[in-house]
Amino acid sequence: MGSAVPSTMGTLMASGLMSAGKALRGRETLDVRGQADFFQSFYEGVRALGKAEPGDKTFLDGLKPALDVIKEGLCSEQDTIPLAEAAAQAARQGYEGTLGMLAKHGRMAIRGEASRAYLDPGAAVAALLVRAWADQAAGG
């Protein structure tokens, strides 16, 4: 497991969840806007603690494309199920896009230039997170 997920992953996920919890405080249900707020604040919490940016070959490379799709879907008032599915596909593409990137953070960065030959496990976690939302939205 340690080679599959960076050792800081738990701390980063906790930071994202705490940020999301603060943003959603007092809400008993989440509509599409609330779900978007969850992902936005989760992203911001992870980004702030990890000091990474999209393109650094991290969790953010999986979540940022999904977040962009979610924001676009809100502007066009897209229904939850197709929006969540589109976001999951974007997250998957973001994860797949980490192949060839140079890792700047986490365990993958230890590999240096050799990190370009691997997909990022943190971005995989982001893709799985968004896929779980899409599956839940579809009733799965």
Say if 3 falls within a structural domain. no
User: What is the reported pLDDT for 7?
Assistant: 65
Q: pTM above the 0.85 mark?
A: yes
Split the chain (140 residues) into runs of 10 and give each run's mean pLDDT.
60 96 94 94 97 96 98 91 97 98 91 96 97 93
Judge whether 110 lies within some domain.
Answer: yes
Give me the CATH number covering residue 38: 1.25.40.340
Sign of the alpha-carbon torsion through 59, 62, 65, 69: negative
SS (H, E, C) 65-97: HHHHHHHHHHHCCCCHHHHHHHHHHHHHHHHHC
Q: What's the domain count of the chain? A: 1
Structural domain range at position 110: 9-137
